Chains A and B, each alone.
Chain A
């Protein structure tokens, strides 16, 4: 895959959010509609294609914690705000031509996490659980060894303590379990087919009108042979 080869040639071990999501998308995992822009002209054109409200994020493979670095602007509702947000983010990043992701803002209260880790003994393992900023605090996750089938994926959804979050709760639609199971099967497939991928993190996956969308993602590659 070109994205991975490019990163390896640049001696990088992490892919940016944009690159990571391109890979997910190539495996039919639903991601936010988004464009990578470096100047105001492209920003406006991207914004008009997606439509407001928008989210703008600084995009750099070297920056893993965008929130801590204050590189995320949500609920950007018009062109004026978009330009302000864009310039503000670029100013916080190194170099004035730094890339910014312009993406649709997914509205949904339920945040999930899914991912992959390459275990030295069992190979690629798929993770699923409660996502968002408290992922590590709740530690409500479950794993499977890849590859998995639909039945395995459905079982994973039933195993987390917070499984009721997937039901129709508080006026929200029930999550589409078939779509989610497909997403988990695909993550396993990525792990099986791409030896270079060490870890995948998709957090959060937001449930919006019942459908899961990958809103942020990061892929870590194997460290080059020392």
Chain B
């Protein structure tokens, strides 16, 4: 418990640094320059100290020949030097009282060589004896919009509920870039690389306890300490959803076993056990990960299973109903009053007034039909959520569609979920997400994520009741 508390305090200080040193910052436009550009881009308000063996100044900032020469304290050091130079610099950082160091440099354990392994061990030794925490090596480090620190220029300045852990820096960066389109904003994101010190389990502990983080996502390639990871996962999942995308689960590399149990125990099976016992949500692939982060960010923690579907295209209405059943959700039974209301404006032919409600092609021309139908469905007490699959004939109609659905969602207080019809304006799709309405590419993805979010909260509630007894 004391150890957990200490870890949280350490990480909190590193995630909110008052000063950052960039050691090995290049003078010209090289990859390392991105780390400075990222800080400037997010308007980092603390002191930035470039460290360079020769330069007096880089991009208008006074440069220092070594970390030792920097006059004030340094909270965070970003280390970009070649790997044979890293160890003395890490030692100097520790002596300076740096709280955390990001090791961008690669060429350690991941190379599989004895030398790489030994160098990495030496780094761990410095960290453990000094109390300075290390990220990486072979990582991009931290993105904390609230603090103005980032690992790449071009990421959002706005904070949000998602805490993200990644074994790939580039994947964290790509996710960060598309996130605002989906209404996903971060409390923090961290690229962990080889995890010589700070591990994914440490980050689960930190983010699980972080009041600003409401959802945790992770892209994982390997787990360093299984029992610690499972314990941290259990604790974090009790408080907030943890969405895990784990790679490396195919049977290749599985060794020959002596028993049935050994032969059947695939990495996939063991991982499924970890996910279930840890109370986590398992996803596979980038699209599903982003869908899930969007769903958990935007949908509430108390969503029901009675779904109403409102669609213009008949085939998509039927497909949505099918996906609803596949995901264990229910088609809401509409009240007589709702059906009577609908019959007042929905054309009589080529439509359906029972759920899924098919308003037909005319609705794309007369947007009022979509809007009034959405209001009627949202007003029905037997409906927990409204899925809308619609599109107008032109930009103007689509704008009206977007604003009206957002308004209906806000007035009713019920979750709305919008499904794309190809050709719909992408900026309006983003407008939905910004307004707290998840926008999905397909009806199957929409139903799947809605059901995923619901399952997590139902399960958590059930667990809380069991243990509360």
Contact = CB atoms under 8 A, between A and B. Distances in A.
Interface of A: 13-14, 64, 113, 115-117, 119, 121-123, 125, 127, 129, 135-136, 139, 141-145, 148, 151-152, 155, 159, 199-201, 203, 218, 220
Given A142-B269, A143-B270, A145-B277, A127 B258 contact: no
Given A136-B263, A199-B261, A220-B262, 12 more contacts: A64-B258, A113-B260, A117-B257, A121-B226, A121-B270, A122-B273, A127-B264, A143-B273, A148-B277, A199-B257, A199-B259, A200-B261
Per CB-CB distance, the 3 closest pairs between chain A and chain B, nearest first, are A115-B261, A122-B226, A201-B259
Contact of B269 (A141, A152, A155, A220): A141
19 contacts: A13-B258, A116-B261, A117-B257, A117-B262, A119-B265, A122-B223, A122-B226, A122-B270, A122-B273, A123-B227, A127-B269, A139-B264, A142-B273, A143-B272, A151-B466, A152-B277, A201-B259, A201-B260, A203-B260
A159 B269 CA distance: 12
A125 B265 CA distance: 9
Given A113-B260, A119-B226, A220-B259, A127 B265 contact: yes
A203 B263 CA distance: 13
A141 B259 CA distance: 14
Interface in B238-272: 257-265, 269-270, 272
B346 interface: no
Contacts of B265: 117, 119, 125, 127, 143
B269 A143 contact: yes
B411 interface: no
A222 to B, nearest CB: 11
A122 B230 contact: yes
Contact of A135 (B227, B230, B260): B260
A9 B265 CA distance: 29
A218 B277 contact: no
Interface string B259-302: 11111110001101110110000000000000000000000000
Q: Which of A64, A143, A148, A155 counts the most chain B CB atoms within 10 A? A: A143
B430 to A, nearest CB: 39
Q: Which of B226, B227, B269, B273 counts the most chain A CB atoms within 10 A? A: B273
Given A64-B258, A121-B223, A199-B259, A135 B273 contact: no
A127 B269 CA distance: 9
B273 to A, nearest CB: 4
Interface of B: 223, 226-227, 230, 257-265, 269-270, 272-274, 276-277, 466
Q: Which of B226, B230, B272, B466 counts the most chain A CB atoms within 10 A? A: B226
B191 to A, nearest CB: 21
Contacts of A159: 276
A113 B261 CA distance: 9
B259 A115 contact: yes
Contacts of B223: 121-122
B455 to A, nearest CB: 14
Contacts of A142: 269, 272-273
Nearest to A131: B260
A14 B258 CA distance: 9
Contacts of A148: 277
Nearest to A122: B226
B270 to A, nearest CB: 5
A64 B277 CA distance: 33
Contacts of A220: 258-259, 262
Contacts of A152: 277
A107 B150 CA distance: 67
Contacts of A121: 223, 226, 270
Contact of A144 (B226, B277, B466): B277
